Chain A
Amino acid sequence: MPNSTLDKAKKGKIVTIVNLPSGNIRSQLIRLGLTEGGTIKCLERLPGGTIVVQKNRQEIAVGYDLAKKIKVILQ
């Protein structure tokens, strides 16, 4: 289980969030249901690196720069 960041997640794979960046963006992430310890599915990796993840039935788009700051465990 290698430590990585969300931007490295492959399409269709499940990842576990280990660490979220701090600041305002952190509470925004938590409000959308992305929490430390939670698992999410990488639905899409768009050209350029924008990531679309799925948490339960909710789809969330995460910009590349933000995805780089979210530490995850790839499964």
Chain B
Amino acid sequence: MKSDNIINVENNGKLNIDSSVSEININEKVVLVGNPNVGKSCIFNFMSGMYVDVSNFPGTTVSITKSHFNSKEIYDTPGIYGVSSFNDEERVAKEIILDSEIIINVVNALHLERDLFLTLQLIDMGKKVSVLLNFADEIKKRKIKIDTKKLSELLGVEIIETSAINQTGLDKISYAIQNARVGNQQLDLHFMLQSIIDQSIPQSEALLILEGDEETANKYNAACGTPAQRENIYIGRRNRVNEIVDQVEYQDTKSGEFFNRIGRLSLNPKTGLPILGVILVLVYFFIGDFVSQQIVNFTENTIGKGLFEYNVKSFVSNYTPTTIDVSIYDGNENLMNIKSFNFPDGKNSNKQLSDEFVRFSNQPGASSEFHFSNPFVRLFFGEFGVITMTITYLLFLLFPLVIGFYFVMALLEDSGYLPRLATMLDRTFNKIGLNGRAVIPIMLGFGCITMANITTRLLGSEREKSIVTAILQFVIPCSAQLAVITVLLSGAGIKPLLIFVFVIATVLITLSTILNKLLPGESTPLLIDLPMMGFPKLKNVLKKTYYRSWGFMKEASFWFFVGAFAVGIFEITGILTIWQDILAPLTTSWLKLPKEAANAFVMGMVRRDFSAAGLFDLNLTSMQITVAIITITLFVPCIASFVVMLKERGIKEGLTVWAGTWITAFFIGGLVAQIVI
């Protein structure tokens, strides 16, 4: 650090250089000015090489750097949004700017609208200015194009494209310094300045006085501008910035054009529906195949049941009467061997048998079923145990699915597609008293109804929330249920599928039309901003996915435990069996399904996929399958979404919807059964 170049401030606040290096001409002081984060320091470092002086500006903690470039003195200044005295940084920058002749204004091309305000102010000050348009390479990667020639014409100064990070365009800095000139000043402002300039005050300081900078006014004992005057000048400058940006910034690079066109096409149903189709197919492959088959299979069966539940139950069985059935399957799911281990006093009391169980159950393809005779142990650790089942369900089935869904939603959102989808579907949703935004909770419903129930909050009115909540509980099958429906339908041919889709669509339209007529109040209209289309930033997408998935788990987890606890109590007290007995006659005579199908419906209250899974072993005809899947789709939501619905929508509305699903499911299911079977 050279100690002979120190910046001093004399009593009048004017900046002077104590230049022992006297060959430097004060008229050749060059100052780098720009908003924060425009790459100013990067450019300064390039210009200064290794000889940099850093010192604190007297009376402040703001450090200033100076150096030499082509025998000129150059100064770096703190990042500022405008020349004024709102804080120390601004005061320091102001002093340096006022005292220099040549200003190199560094502008971030990505934030033209923000940065040009300072540029115009510097020009209005009457200083010689050149503009370095930094991040020039970045804007080429985006969909933005800036007409620098036009910008140079409008501002009346040189514009040089640079990329400080890649060191391109920096060779033109000496050109920028040599060609710095007074730009096009705003005329009316110029006239207003004249009266102050007539008092032999430099134009730059005259502007600051007019803009109400008291420090400068006091220096000359001049009348300071009022806050209202400042506001007027600022608004005028802001408007000029907007006009200039409008004229020089385009979105016409190839990828920008391409994405823009996709954006336009996805608005109109004629072209938007095929685009939606393509997206849904991609989403299906990602969520339907990759996440819910491959990933969930691994997390639920291998980690959840194989590791977590096995170890917890095995530990508990040390201390309580337990019978354990271990089945061994080969690679093709054929039963190879089955063995039952009985521990009337818990595993710990029979070391020998216990060791044998451990050996036997650790063979490849082994699957262990623990039967606890103590009802309270069953409540917490049994097949539907509050601890065992809920944790497996939450962490190893639902969590990966929720992450998958939120990830896709964030992708669609950040690419700019989601608001366009909402716009395209707006009129359709209008018919049922909703606006296009309702597409978001409904799409999420195909993932998890509980998650969708929470998302109804983003809708504009209570009325819309009620309609969407009802649609979700009545007709939308969640992913767990969809998977089982797909399996059931796959062997049954095309006819059941068509009947299924027709019946569900009819119920959807009827239900929502009735609700739209009955519910009081008014729905809110669509009003959304359509951001530019483009590739989403992975980092932002992951961040959103993380926060939302975590938020969901935090909010919903507790209710899954509550639900499991309730069902556990029903099981122990025998209410579950009574329920099955009540439903049995309805199932056989009205729905024309085997008596055992009643089990499936009762289990459907616990987890929606249980209901469908219970139907696998029943050897149903294709028309019975049709009736069964219609009934379980319309049937009550799982216990967790029921509880969350109660919480979101209140007891009265929640119970009404819940009871409504019972009636609708059995009424419609039976109606179809009477017709087709």
Residues of chain A whose beta carbon lies under 8 Å from any beta carbon of chain B: 25, 28-29, 32, 43-44, 46-50, 52, 56-66
Contacts and interface: CB of A to CB of B under 8 A. Distances in A.
B527 A64 contact: no
Chain B contact surface mostly: helix
Nearest to B263: A59
Q: 3 shortest A-B CB distances, which residue pairs?
A: A48-B427, A63-B526, A66-B525
Interface in B510-549: 524-530
Contacts of B525: 25, 62-66
Given A25-B527, A46-B267, A52-B267, A63 B426 contact: yes
Q: In the complex, which of the residues A25, A43, A57 has the most CB atoms of chain B within 10 Å of its own CB atom?
A: A57
B424 interface: yes
A62 B526 CA distance: 6
Contacts, number: 78
B422 A61 contact: yes
B167 interface: no
Q: In the complex, which of the residues B270, B419, B420, B527 has the most CB atoms of chain A within 10 Å of its own CB atom?
A: B527
A29 B268 contact: no
A5 to B, nearest CB: 13
Contacts of B269: 46-47
A41 B422 CA distance: 20
A44 B267 contact: yes
Chain A contact surface mostly: mixed
Given A52-B530, A56-B246, A66-B527, A44 B427 contact: no
A58 B249 CA distance: 13
B529 A49 contact: no
A41 to B, nearest CB: 12
B669 to A, nearest CB: 34
B530 A63 contact: no
B48 interface: no
B251 interface: yes
Nearest to A65: B525
Interface in B396-454: 419-420, 422-424, 426-428, 430, 435-436
Contacts of B527: 25, 28-29, 32, 60-63, 66
B242 interface: yes
A43 B264 CA distance: 9
Contact of B529 (A46, A50, A60): A60
Nearest to A49: B427
Given A50-B426, A63-B526, 10 more contacts: A46-B269, A47-B270, A50-B436, A57-B249, A57-B251, A61-B426, A63-B426, A63-B527, A64-B426, A64-B430
A12 B246 CA distance: 18
Nearest to A62: B527
Contacts of A64: 426-427, 430, 525
Nearest to B260: A59
